[in-house]
Amino acid sequence: MLSSKILGKNLVETVIGKAKTYWKEIPISKELNTKRGLLEWLISQSKLHKKVYGFKNVIFSGFPTIEVEISAADHTGIAAVPSGASTGQFEALELRDGAKSFMGKGVLKAVTNIQEIIAPALIGIDVRNQQEIDEKMIMLDGTSSKSKLGANAILGVSLAVLNLGAKTLGLPLFHYINQVFNNINGENLEMQMPMPMLNIINGGQHADNNVDIQEFMIMPIGASSFSQAMQWSTEIYANLKKILQTKGLSTSVGDEGGFAPNLSSNIEAIELIITAIRNNNLVEGKDVGIALDCAASEFYDNGIYNLKGESKKLNSIEFTQYLEELTNKYPILSIEDGMDENDFKGWNHLTDVLGKKCQLVGDDLFVTNAFELQRGIEESLANSILIKFNQIGTITETMKTIHLGNQHGFKSIISHRSGETEDSTIADLCVGLGSGQIKTGAPCRSDSCLLYTSPSPRDRQKSRMPSSA
């Protein structure tokens, strides 16, 4: 246990190797009293020690992922790494074993990298030096895609360190995240509760149906609190199920918990949601808006957007017109990945046409990468960015990307992955950085519900829509 006692007028003894330190050497904060300042300084001396290890932890899809546990002094930080079904071409590499077990999706190689390469290099470093630790792991890997050690191995350690840092200071994780961000970027962010974005109809890669658009989401923009936003959303979800049952449509769910019926068109999905909103005595566009994740890269080939469910083949100009017609007819506030990740001309045109009307979110386009985001800023591609820390591999890089977006008016939407775990760090990230929006699936999967109910700051602030929307 971390402890201390006064040996004399100018001498204090701490149980960290019984180091003897003179009072004058202790940097006590002016904002804190003597006892508090001493405590924080002592905690800052906590080092990573004893154990840094990884082990398999089965995610919802039945495939393994990595959970990392790190200890310092009397505290332990634990984190689990998510995985995505629909992934961008330029995401950091998730290292898998490629053997027969788990259909090649084992993670023993990544676990070994944690135990044999990462852990020895980190032992002895101050747990609060998040940036130093992350940069050391990036250097150890030495590749742009983190392919040597695996982005999943690096991220697991990065997140565990983040959680451990909060525990050593006795701070809520969201509060500590706010401090870490400020230390790294020099930007003071206001913490706030987010606007939830709930995916209630699944298509594309998230479902075995004929719906081309991957996600149809609701945004309870008229709610007076996060609690009310969640109540409205769960009631709309329940109403939608009743509507589907009445129409004889499937109520089976996709990867992210949204219903996955076969439908005649993307428009039918939107109209079903609007009916569910109205059945809850709410008004579409006033109380509840709609958001889409097209995941256009999944149905793009050789310059053509192939909407198989509607038997339409459209070029980027025509697909922009298609999306424009939807936004003119329905209260669509946000469109994610409205173009293929490499269709920069298409993105530029889409941004020119719809950029002032709704939120255009780059996911596959930016993959939480500051370099890719910088290009988007310079070339007028999108106006917002989806944040998934497993796309880039460390919390420091994630924060730097968010900071870059903030500097140029790009809103950040914190997002889960379809292969989620019980780790709720993204909820704390969203609140701590005041991003304003969180996207974590439908309110039927336990991991989604966990993320919508964590962290636990008092619900004192109204959920706020980003100004760009």
Using DSSP bridges, classify how beta strands 437-439 and 195-202 pair: parallel, antiparallel or unpaired. Answer: parallel
Q: What is the DSSP code string of 18-31?
A: TEEEEGGGS---TT
Determine the Cα–Cα distance for residues 399 and 402; give it in Å rounded to an integer.
5
Strand order in the sheet with 300-301: 300-301, 304-307, 312-314
Q: Is 78 helix (H, G, I), strand (E, B) or coil?
A: strand
Q: Are 166 and 176 in contact (CB under 8 A)?
A: yes
Contact 463, 226 (CB under 8 A): yes
Q: Which amino acid is at 207?
A: A
Write out the two tokens for 293: 């994740």
Chain-centroid distance of CA 393 in Å reads: 12
Indicate the angle between helix axes 395-407 and 173-185, nearest 10 degrees: 70
Sort residue 73 into left (φ over 0), alpha (ψ -120 to 50) or beta: left
C-alpha–C-alpha distance, residues 214 and 203, integer Å:
4
Q: How many CB atoms lie within 10 A of CB 398?
A: 28
- Dihedral (CA of 399, 51, 71, 69) sign: positive
Judged by DSSP in three states, 131 sits in helix
Distance CA 429, CA 179 (A): 11
Are the C-beta atoms of 323 and 293 separated by less than 8 Å? Answer: no
C-alpha–C-alpha distance, residues 68 and 58, integer Å: 13
**Half-sphere exposure for 296 (CA within 13 Å, toward CB):** 31
**What would the DSSP string read from start to end of 207-266?**
-SSS--SSEEEEE-TT-SSHHHHHHHHHHHHHHHHHHHHHTT----B-TTS-B----S-H
Active site residues: 256, 388
CA distances to 239, 251, 425 from 243, in Å: 6, 10, 34
- Tokens coding 410: 């790009």
Contact 298, 84 (CB under 8 A): no
Q: Strand, coil or helix: what is 7?
A: strand
Nearest to 344 by CA among 303, 403, 299: 303
Q: State the DSSP code for 118.
A: I
